[in-house]
Amino acid sequence: MGTPDIRDTPEEWRVTATETPFTGNKTSVRRDEVVMPGGSTAHRDYQVHPGSVAVLALDDEDRVLVLRQYRHPVRHRLWEIPAGLLDVPGENPLHAAERELYEEAHVKAGDWRVLTDIYTSPGGCDEAVRIFLARDLSAAEGERFETAEEEADMELARVALPELVRGVLAGELHNTCLTVGVLALTAARAADGGLDALRPAGAPWPARPFS
């Protein structure tokens, strides 16, 4: 038996009916009736999400910029990396990532790469996230962005990458983007070509096409 082609591929099964029973501020819930193999149909409920970007910002001392924020659905205060929604349809994800790094950490970066692209919970949500690697960090100009709600209580820190990896593997850190980001960065460094082999910041993103 040969080795299969190990890559995700687009595919769309036929939908015979759809409805949106709930619409929120940023997301909604959709119910589709999907034709299964063999001809039967099944209902699939899922959250419709605009997509997100996240930034693993790495400084010259090999520390990652992280923030601690309360997340009500899981009743936890989680350590995370800067991240935010793609609020504008078709927005360039790099521009969104630069904005989030400025707003949440008052930092700018001189070097940007795509670290990885993920679906956070494809069984129940269509959210796609692009995680960037940002290096050559410096303080942003001007006044700090005025935060509100959960972000008004954020705690910022710079933590050594090995300590974050240890925390992930010990079950002490749970945020998806932080977990995937620090493990992907560790793997990228060990791979052929190292970080220089990462995709450029403007690489195509079929899950959330942009101009």
Residues tagged active-site: 151
The residue whose two tokens read 């990396």 is 81
CA distance linking residue 39 with residue 115, whole number of Å: 40
Phi-psi region of 90 (alpha: psi -120 to 50; beta: other; left: phi over 0): left
DSSP 73: G
- Whether 148 contacts 59, CB under 8 Å: no
Residue 136 neighbours by CB distance under 10 Å: 13
Contact assessment for residue 80 and residue 177, using Cβ atoms and an 8 Å cutoff:
yes
DSSP letter, residue 59? -
Q: What residues contact 185, with CB distance under 8 A and at least 6 apart? A: 56, 58, 115, 133, 161, 195
The alpha carbon torsion through 175, 160, 131, 195 (nearest 10 deg) reads: -150
